[in-house]
Amino acid sequence: MKRNLIELKNISKSFGNTLVLDELDLEIRENEFLTLLGPSGCGKTTTLRIIGGFENPDQGQVIFDGKDITGLPANQRNLNTVFQKYALFTHMSIEENIAFGLKIRKKSKAYIQDKIRYALKLVNLDGFEKRSPASLSGGQQQRIAIARAIVNEPKVLLLDEPLGALDLKLRQDMQYELMRLKEELGITFVYVTHDQEEALTMSDTVVVMNQGYIQQMGTPEDIYNEPENAFVADFIGDSNIIDGIMIEDKLVEILGVRFDCVDTGFGTNRPVDVVIRPEDVMLKEPGVGNLDGVVTSVIFKGVHYEMDVMAGGYEWLVHSTFCYPEGTRVSISVIPFNIQIMNKPESEDEKAVSLDG
């Protein structure tokens, strides 16, 4: 079991009258790739900035490697930050950009040259020492920003939406580069994004945030397959979220029709939220499945067709590799294992936390 490298204890932060983080607790393990994921304004960047020393919390502690560093300035913490805006010095060459932090720490010329060569090789840009930042593409500039951070040998690399300005193909390439770097360097990555696919692709652990709270924390598989509330289910990928009644263990009523499921412990005749992923909805001949309906729209997405199916008074989102043309009468079926049951929020406040954003 890896030890905790960073612990945030009871962290709260407000800007004016706006509460951004509310008594947040978070543990980050050594050599972990942890992603803070959530919509704009959820508190993820503020959390990162508090870890980095760029913001002070109103209350709570930041523990790093067993020491309380809450009041320690950013330049005295053994971590480096890579921002979305690369912040390269345009009047300096690439090697001068990379060497900047090392020169401040008064490292020898030989040491600095070795580190520059090592860092450029690591980000696949050897031979770029004399180039200027203006001559590089966005992806290359981002790699230089990462190289500049890793030459300082931080224990933690903080990345604040570092791929947000890149186009889709380049962003995907850089995702794999970052995963490779994490394995080669053996350091802890704390990554901020609002891109669900990015979080699921890269992370060991995903922390889903909304309104200053952690909604769920777990592996990408756990977050996607076992969302703990409707907000997480809706934010991570597409979902059908439907009002249901838990008749008894392993039996739920959806839209007036009973479906077998695998969940237990919700009581009897209890209102619940039912979550079914669009790829888990199977379309069959009318009369064969649980609910009959009609296909109301079809969009080709490349790897699958995205269809809307009106059934039981609800418009189901369905993903399938087989196309059912608009107007086709179908029947909806879902295997029990793919039906996720969740407790409904107890109050309007809880509903706001779970669903707003």
Total-model pTM: 0.85
Identify the pLDDT of residue 86: 65
Q: Considering the domain 4-225, what is its CATH architecture?
A: 3-Layer(aba) Sandwich (3.40)
Report residue 171: phi and psi, to 5°.
Answer: -60, -45
Identify the pLDDT of residue 352: 42
Alpha helices in the chain (DSSP H): 44-52, 94-104, 109-122, 138-150, 168-185, 196-202, 220-225, 230-235, 348-355
Torsional sign, CA 281, 284, 286, 287: negative
Q: Domain residues of the chain, as ranges?
A: 4-225, 239-355
Identify the pLDDT of residue 262: 97
Q: What is the pLDDT along the chain (357 residues), one digit of tens a residue?
A: 779 999 999 999 999 999 999 999 999 999 999 999 999 999 999 999 999 999 999 999 999 999 999 999 998 998 988 876 767 888 999 999 999 888 888 889 999 999 999 889 888 889 999 999 989 888 888 889 888 888 888 999 999 988 877 788 878 888 888 898 888 888 999 999 999 989 999 999 999 999 999 999 999 999 999 999 989 998 998 999 999 999 999 999 999 999 999 999 999 999 999 999 999 999 999 999 999 999 999 999 999 999 999 999 999 999 999 999 999 999 999 999 999 999 987 644 454 444 443
Q: In what order do the strands lie in the sheet with 240-248?
A: 257-260, 251-254, 240-248, 270-276, 340-343
Torsional sign, CA 97, 101, 106, 108: negative
User: Which fold is adopted by the domain 239-355?
Assistant: OB fold (Dihydrolipoamide Acetyltransferase, E2P) (2.40.50)
Neighbouring C-beta atoms of residue 335, cutoff 10 Å: 12
Residue 30, classed as helix, strand or coil, is: coil
Tokens (6 digits) for 161? 């939406």
DSSP letters, 121-176, are HHTT-TT-TT--GGGS-HHHHHHHHHHHHHTT--SEEEEESTTTTS-HHHHHHHHH
Identify the pLDDT of residue 137: 86
Residue 116 pairs in a beta bridge with: none
